Amino acid sequence: MKRRAFINLSVVTAGTGAVIGLNACSTPSSGNEDPGKVLDNLESMTKDVQPITLEERQARIKKAQQLLAENKMQALILDAGTAMVYFTGIRWGRSERTMVAVIPAAGEVFYICPGFEENRLRELIKIGKQVHAWQEDESPYQLIIQSLQSAGITGGALAVEESIRFFIMDGIRKLAPQFSFVSGDPVTIPCRLIKSPAEIALMQKATDITIAAMKIGIKSLREGMSPKEFSEIVTEAQNKFGGSSDFAMVNFAEASAFPHGSTQPQKLKKGDIVLMDCGCRVEGYSSDISRTIVYGAAATARQQEIWNLEKAAQTAGYKAAQLGVPCEKVDAAARKVITDAGFGPGYQLPGLPHRTGHGIGMDGHEWGNMVKGNQLLLQTGMCFSIEPNISIVGEFGVRHEDCVYMTESGPKWFSQPAPAIDQPFV
C-alpha cells in the first residue's frame, strides 16, 4: 500500500524566536499559509554576522607578498572583482575605465584609477594610501608602469590574477617590454583556497539562510506553478533573511534531468520530481544547496530507487573526502556507486555527467574541484560541494548537493544531507 509522504518544515524568524509553521505535505492541502504573508513576516538572520576584519585582510596581503617573493614575482595586479575584494575589501564595478590595485612583493598596496573617481576610491580604501589617478585623455597603462617604477619595480615578472581583463594586461604589455607577465594563480589560489574560521562562519550563515528560504519555497509549491514563481519566492526570502540572493533554480519532471535547467515551459503536476538548486551570499561568501523531492504524491518505486542511489553516491563522496586525499578520489568514490548500478560509464548519460563537486567561497565556483585528474590534496580549510547528480534524459534527474569544509578531523557539512525523499531537511 502506498503511504502518504509529509514534508515537515519550519522557519525561525531571527530576533523573535517565532516559528512559522511550514508543514508541507506532499499531497496539497487547503488552508496553507499565503507565501506572501509568510514573506512579509521574515526578519534578518544576519544581526550577529561578523564581517572580515581589517587585520585578516592585512594578513592576506602579507601572505600574498610572501608567495610573490617565493615565486620571484615583482607584483600582483588585481582587476576590480572578487580578488580585489578579498585582499583590499574594495568593491568596484568593472567598466571600460581601468581601475586596478597592485600588491608589490614589498611595500604598500597602491591603486590606479580614473581621475574623476579618485575621491570616491579614497573613501573606500582601508589598506594602502597611494592613489595614482589618470585623466580621460591619458593612458592608464602608462600610469601603471610609472607607478610600478615609483615603487622601485622596473622589470621582471608581473603576476596578473586570473580574472583580469585582456585589454588591461595587453595595454600594459605593449608599453613595457621590460616586464614579463605570468599567472597570479601561485599567489591567489593558495590564499583563497584555504578558508579562515571567519570565512567559514559567513558561509555557514549563508547556508542557514538558504535552507530557511528553500523551506518557504517548498511550502509554496502548488499545481500549475512555474519555475519562475518558485524562484521569485526563494529569492525574496533569501534577501529578507539578510542574504544577497545569488540564484534560486527549480526544474520539474523531465526537465530535472538537465542539471542547469531546460528552456521548455514547465508547469508543476502531482507526482513530478522537483529538483531545486539555491544559494545566496553573506558578506560576499556563498552557499549552494540542491534538494530533490516529489510533489503531491508518494514517490514511485523508480523515483525512490534513483533518489536512494544518489544519496549513496553522495555519502560515498563524503567518506572519501579525507585530509591528504587527492580531490579526484571524491569524484571516483561517488561515481563508482552510480556506475556500479549500471549507469555511465564515466561522464556518459544516463548517469553523472559532471564533476562530483566544486570549490566554493567568495565565488560560487572556485578552485578545488572534485573531478577526475585533479591531484590537489585535500587540506584543512578547503570548502567544496558534494553533488553527484544522476540525469536520466526523458525521465528525470536527482541531485543532492551539500557543501563541506575540511577540518583537522575530516569533512564537516555546512548543511546536513536530506534524510529522505519526503524529508529534504533535517
What is the distance between the alpha carbons of residues 293 and 310, in angstroms, rounded to a whole number?
12
Q: Confirm or reject CATH 1.10.357.10 for domain 56-193, answering yes or no.
A: no
Whether the domain at 6-43+195-413 and the domain at 56-193 fall into the same CATH topology: no
Locus of grid cell 529522505: 420
Q: pTM, whole model, 2 decimals? A: 0.91
- C-alpha grid cell, residue 424: 529534504
Tens digits of pLDDT across the chain (426 residues): 333 333 334 444 433 333 333 444 443 333 356 788 899 999 999 999 999 999 999 999 999 999 999 999 999 999 999 999 999 999 999 999 999 999 999 999 999 999 999 999 999 999 999 999 999 999 999 999 999 999 999 999 999 999 999 999 999 999 999 999 999 999 999 999 999 999 999 999 999 999 999 999 999 999 999 999 999 999 999 999 999 999 999 999 999 999 888 888 899 999 999 999 999 999 999 999 999 999 999 999 999 999 999 999 999 999 999 999 999 999 999 999 999 999 999 999 999 999 999 999 999 999 999 999 999 999 999 999 999 999 999 999 999 999 999 999 999 999 999 999 999 999
Question: In whole angstroms, how large is the CA radius of gyration of the chain?
Answer: 24
Both ends of the chain: CA-CA distance in Å?
26
Residues 6+ apart with CB under 8 A from 301: none
- C-alpha grid cell, residue 244: 544577497
Cβ atoms of 114 and 138 closer than 8 Å? no
SS3 annotation, 204-266: HHHHHHHHHHHHHHHHHCCCCCCHHHHHHHHHHHHHHCCCEEEEEEEEEHHHHHCCCCCCCCC
- Dihedral sign of CA atoms 33, 37, 39, 44 in order: negative
- C-alpha grid cell, residue 352: 553523472
Question: What is the reported pLDDT for 30?
Answer: 33
- C-alpha grid cell, residue 419: 534524510
CA angle (233, 355, 198) in 5-degree steps: 60
Measured CA to CA in angstroms, residue 169 lies from 19, 166, 188, 297, 426 at distances of 53, 5, 17, 57, 49
- Dihedral sign of CA atoms 76, 82, 84, 88 in order: negative
Question: What is the reported pLDDT for 32?
Answer: 55
Fold observed for domain 6-43+195-413: Creatine Amidinohydrolase (3.90.230)
Question: What is the reported pLDDT for 28?
Answer: 36
Q: Where are the domains of the chain?
A: 6-43+195-413, 56-193
Locus of grid cell 585582510: 57
Residue from 223, 216, 262 nearest 239 by CA: 216
DSSP bridge partners of 122: none
